[in-house]
């Protein structure tokens, strides 16, 4: 009952439930991986992740966040630092018209995904949100 009311509130506010965000992230990352496996560019992978997240029924904000996470994880996979990855995640989220909050979430998620500490994730989130509010 609580989950249903939380999901209804999320839908009416233009945000997604945690379950929807999880689904959008999984589908987006999977689609991006397919593009890269088929010799696609990282830009194509980014767009595939964004579109796949939208196709799950996720809101634009969540899809932008997923796009950022995909790029951030790509930076890590190519040997980049957590700081580079979190900045790339926030930038990609911003490029897809994600809010400063979505930019902060994608930056923190990337740091967390690559084994960063909670303090590092909060620092990445804070930096991304500050940068997002300046743009």
pLDDT by residue for the chain (135 residues), tens digit each? Answer: 333 323 333 443 457 898 999 999 999 999 999 998 999 988 899 999 999 999 999 999 999 999 999 999 989 988 999 999 999 999 999 999 999 999 999 999 999 999 999 999 999 999 988 876 665
What's the pTM value of the predicted model, to 2 decimals? Answer: 0.82
Residues 80-119 have pLDDT tens digits of: 999 999 999 999 999 999 999 999 999 999 999 999 999 9
Could you give the CA distance from residue 24 to residue 18 in angstroms, rounded to a whole number?
10
Q: Is 105 exposed, middle or buried (0-12, 13-18, 19+ CB in 10 A)?
A: buried
Q: Let me know how long the chain is.
A: 135
In the DSSP assignment, the letter for residue 56 is: T
């Amino acid at each position: 009952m609580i989950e249903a009311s939380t999901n209804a509130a999320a839908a009416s506010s233009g945000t997604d439930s945690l379950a929807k965000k999880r689904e959008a992230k999984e589908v987006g990352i999977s689609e991006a991986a397919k593009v890269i496996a088929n010799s696609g560019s990282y830009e194509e992978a980014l767009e595939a992740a964004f579109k796949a997240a939208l196709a799950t029924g996720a809101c634009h904000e969540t899809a932008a966040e997923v796009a950022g996470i995909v790029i951030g994880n790509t930076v890590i996979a190519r040997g980049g630092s957590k700081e580079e990855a979190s900045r790339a995640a926030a930038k990609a989220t911003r490029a897809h018209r994600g809010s400063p909050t979505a930019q902060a979430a994608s930056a923190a998620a990337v740091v967390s995904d690559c084994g960063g500490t909670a303090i590092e994730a909060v620092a990445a989130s804070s930096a991304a949100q500050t940068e997002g509010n300046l743009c």
